[in-house]
Amino acid sequence: MQQLSLLIVMLAALIIPIVMARFKVSSIPTAVAEIVIGILLGKSAFNVVQETGYLHLLSSLGVILLMFLSGMEINFDLFKKIPGQKRTANSPVSMAALSFTCVIITAFLLGAILHFMGLFSDILLGTILFSTVALGVVIATLKEKEILSRPMGQTILLTAVLGEVVPMIALTFYASIYGHNAGRLWLIVLLFLAAIILLRRFQQPYIWFNKVSKATTQLDIRLAFFLIFTLVTVAETVGAENILGAFLAGMVMKLLEPSEATQEKLTSIGYGFFIPVFFIMTGVRLDLKSLFANKTALALIPVLVFCFIVAKLPTVLVYRRRFNGRNSFAGGFLTVTTITLVLPSLQVAQNLHAITSSQSAAFVLAAVIVCIIAPIIFNSTYKLAKEDLVKERIVIIGSNVLTVPVAQQLSHNWYDVRMLTDQEDNYKTFNSEVDDLKYFPEIDEAVLEKGNYFDADVMVLGFRKDEKNYRLAKLAKNHGVKRIIASVQNPQTAVDHMNELHRMGVEVFNSYVVQNSVLRSLIESPSVFEMLMSARAGLFEVTIHNRRYVGAELHELPLINQITISRIYRKHKPISPNGDTVLEYGDHILYTGPYEIVKEVRQRLGRRG
C-alpha cells in the first residue's frame, strides 16, 4: 500500500499539468489544482492515498524547497534607491509599504473581530494568515499579463514581497512565544548572522564555482542545497521554524546573483518533483467529512474567505493614488491570493496545538477558494493602461543632421522618442520634422529633472561638442539612466574623458570610426552592406526582457521560422546559436528578417514582463 500511494501521488503530479494544458486551464494556479486532486485522493473522498513515511519525507522537503524558492523570488534591486532620484509618495516602494501597513492593520482588526465573535480565538495567528500574499502566484500572473516590470506590476510585486517576508518573520516569533521558547528568541539573531556569514563567505567563491562547474558536478546546485540544510539546521537548533531557515537560504542564494540557468535548474527540481508532492499531500491530509460534520468550522469557511478579501482591500485605495480605478481594483484583488505561506503557517500552528484540525481545514479551503477567485478576477478586470503599452523610452539630446533622421526612423518603429536642443536655429529647422522636440536656452540638471528626461531607457547625447556630452553623460549616470550613448567626435583630445566614460559604462559613438567600418564592410562584405542598407530587411537586435521566454530553447521562439539568428551576446560574450540554445534574461540576439516581422519579434521578446 505504501508503494501504491507513492505511485498514485507521482502519477497525479504528472497528469495534473497535462490535463490543465490540454483543457487550457490557465486562470487557476497549479498548486490549487494539486490540492484539489489531493482532496479527492485522500480521506475526504476516495481514500486511495495514505500518508507513508516516504510521502511525509518528500512532503517535508517540498515545503522547505517551496520556501527556499520563495526567498529566491525576491528581487532586492527593487528596494534600492536609484542615485539622484527622489523616492516620491507614488513610487512603487512607497506605495507597497503603505499598502502592506494598511493590510497589517486591517488583518489585526479582522482577527480581533473573529476573536470577540467567538469564531477564532487566536488574534495574532489570524493577523499573520490574513496578511500573507502568495508571491509565486502573483509573479506568475504578472508575467502572464506581461506587466511585471511596469509601474503597476512593480507595485503589486513589492506588496506581495512584503506579504511574504513580514508574515514569515512574525510566524517565527509566534512559534517561539507559543512554543514556550520566548527566552530563546534572541538566539534567532544567530540564524540571521549565519545567513550573513554564508553570504559573505560564498559571494566570491560562487563566481569561481560557475567557471569550474561541469555537467557532472553542478556546483551551483550543490551550494544551494548546502545553504538550505545549513540554515534549516541552524533554525531548528535555535528554536526557529525550519521554513524560516529555508526562506533565508533562498534570500542568500538570490543575493549571490545566480544565473538564470541556475535558477531554472533549482525551480525544476522544486516544482518538478518535491513541491507538487507537498501540495497534493496537503489535500490528502484534509478531512472534509469531519469538517462538514462540524457546523461551527463549516460556517467559518465563508467568514474566512470574506476576511482574506477584506484584509487586502486597503491596497485598492492606495493604488488609486496613481493608477485608474479599474486596474487598482484588479491589482488589489490579486494580492488576495494566499496559499504559499498559509499552509506552512497552519502546519506550525497545528504542531503547537494552537489550532484544531477542523479550523486548519477551513483555512486551507478558504485559501484555495481565494486562490481560484483572485487570478480570475484580475485577468478579467485588468486592462493594459497607457503606461503598460509604452514603448522603449529614448531621449536624444542635441538635434542635428545625424540625430534627427535617427529619431524619425525610431519613432515609426517601437520607440517612444523625445528630443531636446539648446540651439534655437536647429529647433526652428527640425521642429516640424520630429514629433517631440523641445528647445531650452540651456540644458542643465534642473531642466532635465523638471522635464523627467532622466526617466528614460536610453539617453543619446548627440551634441557636436564633446565636453558638453561628457558633462551630460555624468549627470545621466548619477541619475540612474539605464543606458547612455555619447557622441565623441574628437577622441584624440579627450582620452581621459573617454576612459572615464568607459569606466562608467557609457557607450561611446564616433561617426568617423563608424564611417570607416561601413566603408570597410562595403569593400570586404558587399552583401552585408546591402543587407544593412536595405529598407525591407536588415540586421536587428533585441534584448530578452520578456521572462516568458527566459529558459526557453531557441527553436521555441515565436516566428523563428521567419527570421535568421546570427549571434547571441551574453554578458558581452558571443555565443554561436543553435536550436537547443537556452535563453537567459538580458541576452542580446542579432537577427535578420523581413521588416514586417521584425516589429512583432521585438515587441514579444523585448517587452518587459
Question: All domains of the chain, ordered by start, with CATH?
Answer: 2-78+91-381 (1.20.1530.20), 392-517 (3.40.50.720), 534-606 (3.30.70.1450)
Give 143: exposed, middle or buried? Use CB within 10 Å, 0-12, 13-18, 19+.
middle
Distance CA 207, CA 506 (A): 25
Q: Cell numbers of 208, please?
A: 569561481
The pLDDT mean for the chain works out to 82
pLDDT at position 6: 92
Distance CA 595, CA 445 (A): 38
Three-state SS for 567?
strand
Angle ∠(366,140,32) on CA atoms, nearest 5:
30
Q: What is the DSSP letter of 390?
A: -
Q: Please, which residues bridge with residue 543 across strands?
A: 588
Which is it for the CA torsion 113, 119, 121, 122, positive or negative?
Answer: negative
Three-state SS for 51?
coil
Q: Cell numbers of 137, please?
A: 502566484
pLDDT at position 304: 95
| Residue 486: its H or E element | strand 483-487
Q: How far is CA 233 from the centre of its chain?
A: 29
Give 553: exposed, middle or buried? Use CB within 10 Å, 0-12, 13-18, 19+.
middle
Q: Is the pTM of this model over 0.85?
A: no
pLDDT at position 535: 46
Q: What is the pLDDT of residues 302-352, one digit of tens each?
A: 999 999 999 999 999 999 998 889 999 999 999 999 888 898 888 888 888
Dihedral over alpha carbons 304, 308, 311, 313 (to 10 degrees)? -130
pLDDT at position 173: 83
| Strand blocks (E) in 329-478 | 392-397, 415-421, 437-439, 458-461
pLDDT at position 79: 67
Distance CA 139, CA 29 (A): 11
Distance CA 129, CA 298 (A): 18
Q: Which of 70, 74, 127 is nearest to 103 (CA)?
A: 127
User: For the chain, what percentages of helix, strand and coil (3-state, to nearest 5) are there?
Assistant: 65, 10, 30
- Where the chain has pLDDT below 50, the residues are 535-537
Residue-wise burial string across 315-326, b where 16 or more C-beta atoms lie within 10 A, e elsewhere: bbebbeebbeee
